[in-house]
Amino acid sequence: MDFSFELIIDSLPQLLAGVGLILKLVAAAVCLGFFIAVPVAVLRTSRSPLVQALPFSYVFFFRGTPLLVQIFLIYYGLGSFEVVRNSPLLWPILREAYWCALIAFTLNTAAYSAEILRGAIMAVPFGEIEAAKAIGMTRVQAFRRIILPRAFRIALPAYGNEIIFMIKGSALASTITLLDLTGVARRIVARTYKPVEVFLAAGILYLIIVYGVTWLLKRLERRLSITPPRLPVKAEDAGPV
């Protein structure tokens, strides 16, 4: 087996273009997904089974099926309907692999993020919600000013993991012809039949992206974390004076 460094050097520009596509897709999916996740998470905390039904089914489906199935359902599945193919509004979007991948990634990450956020909303200390009620905030105000900001901070570590999973999941874009990092690597392998060099290079690039983003998220977490104020010793802790 002759190892070819030249091939790695030669393919680097294409691989880096693939990195660009990943970052673009994941950034867009995570941002769009966030705006879906927030209302879904809030509805999921409702006590009414009627309100819960729809968001529950959505989360259940997208967390219970493989991302690959979701991508194919949107890219191949929706296109098999005459109505979709004849629609001047939907077809220009749904025939493009790029948009289909973005839709699938967005819906997928939104479902996972909604569950993370739901857990975080439930973890907001009761006292803070009661305090909000006590000073006369409405339910909407309490959500906007107290519960959600607090929940975001609680959710951040888990949400960071979800972003990392999305980066790794984005490799599936290559299954519908997109030239993301994995797609570029597969194409070069098919042409040169040198999988060792090409996948090694792609793997190193993935590790750099994943640990780079992890590092950024850790910094963000540290910035947003509040050190709890040092409370004065409570009277009952001090014991009888």
Partner 1 sequence: MLQGFGPQLLAGLAITVQVALVALGVGLILGLGGGIAKVYGNRAVRGVAEVYTTIFRGLPEFLVVLIAFFGGSLILAQFSEDAELNAFTAGSLALATTFGAYATEVFRGAFQSVPPGQIEAGKAVGLSGLTIMRRIVLPQVWRLALPGLGNLFLSLLKDTALVSVIGVDDLMRKADIARSVTKDSFTMYAAAAVLYLILTAVTTVILHLLERRASRGIRRAA
80 scored as a contact of partner 1 (CB under 8 A): yes
Q: Say if residues 142 and 185 touch (Cβ distance below 8 Å).
A: no
Smallest separation (angstroms) from partner 1 to the CB of 64: 4
Give one DSSP letter per residue of 105-171, joined into a string: HHHHHHHHHHHHHHHHHHTS-HHHHHHHHHTT--HHHIIIIIIHHHHHHHHHHHHHHHHHHHHHHGG
Q: Does the footprint of partner 1 cover residue 186 (CB under 8 A)?
A: yes
Closest C-alpha to 217, from 166, 159, 169:
159
User: Which of 51, 93, 210, 217 contacts partner 1 by CB under 8 A?
Assistant: 210
Distance, in Å, from the CA atom of 117 to the CA atom of 151, rounded to the nearest integer, reads 7
Q: Which of 16, 17, 27, 73 binds partner 1 (CB under 8 A)?
A: 73
Give CA–CA dist 62/104, Å, rounded.
9
Q: What minimum distance in Å lies between the beta carbon of 208 and partner 1? A: 9
Q: For partner 1, what does the binding mask look like between residues 31 and 60, x meaning CB under 8 A?
A: -----------------------------x
Provide the token pair at 67. 């991302």
81 lies in the binding site for partner 1 (CB under 8 A): yes
Here the tokens at position 93 are 């979007």
Q: Are 40 and 55 in contact (CB under 8 A)?
A: yes
Which residue's CB is nearer to partner 1, number 85 or number 139? 85
Q: Does residue 12 touch partner 1 according to CB under 8 A? A: no
Stretch that binds partner 1, among 3-11, 123-131, 141-149, 165-173 (CB under 8 A): 165-173
Question: In terms of Cα–Cα distance, which of 140, 121, 100, 99 is closest to 55?
Answer: 121
List 52, 79, 98, 179, residue binding partner 1 (CB under 8 A): 79
**Residue 185 touches partner 1, criterion: CB under 8 A:** yes
Of 20, 66, 92, 125, the residue at the interface with partner 1 (CB under 8 A) is 66
Chain positions contacting partner 1, by CB under 8 A: 1, 60-61, 63-70, 72-73, 76-81, 167-172, 174-175, 182, 185-186, 189, 195-196, 199, 202-203, 206-207, 210-211
